[in-house]
Amino acid sequence: MVPHLFTRAITGMKRSHNTSRRRTVSAGGAVRVPDVSRALGGWGCAAALVATLAACSGGASGSAAPAATPSPTYMIPPATARPGEIVITAKPVVDGQMRFRVLGFQDGMAAMFGSHAEWEAKGRYARVHLMIESTDRTNQKFDAKEQLLVAADGRTFHVDDFGQAIKRQPDEIPVGSFVKMEFDLWFDVPKDAKITAVRLFADPPLGAIGPSKGVDVPLP
């Protein structure tokens, strides 16, 4: 259909152009020059038609695909960090079938306060605020005693059992399928230790050979 319309427009333009080139002589002998506005008008119409057809053709070939609808997300309110706590922005890490996200870290505390008593550290207390999430369809076990703080000189330090108990934080807990949990890990480390990372361990998945080597998250 488009080529047919274009051909008719060009034919009309040629006829108008040939007509405009003829000169006629009036009865008085004066040369009468035909009005060329009709010819020019024919060229203008043809040009407009060509532009319209090009625009229609371009619109058909360049049509954009509909935008994908984003998946709905939960509206989880943000939580305020505790006084003296550093917010950690490291990406989540995975060990076995457990995802870990370190949310906060605080170091250099000389004592802790529980529900009934104050307890002083042998060295100094350090606290890691942690979120864990099961990524499997089966139950898993999280063992706080396996988690380590790593010092710059290579030394590692286990969670302080007494500190976990005073602060009513978990020790060994089952984690259901796709369950999320958030809690603290308390460490009592020597005063001269420069902490650089926390090393996190998950329950080895079914079929794993040997214990996990853990995964490190840098700490400031």
Secondary structure E strands in the chain: 24-25, 31-32, 86-87, 93-95, 98-113, 118-134, 140-143, 148-151, 156-158, 172-175, 180-189, 195-200, 215-218
What does pTM read for this prediction?
0.68
Which of the pair, 32 or 192, is modelled with greater confidence? 192
pLDDT in tens, 96-133: 999 999 999 999 999 999 888 789 999 999 999 999 99
The domain 86-218 having CATH identifier 2.60.40.1240: the answer here is yes
Domain segments of the chain as ranges: 2-57, 86-218
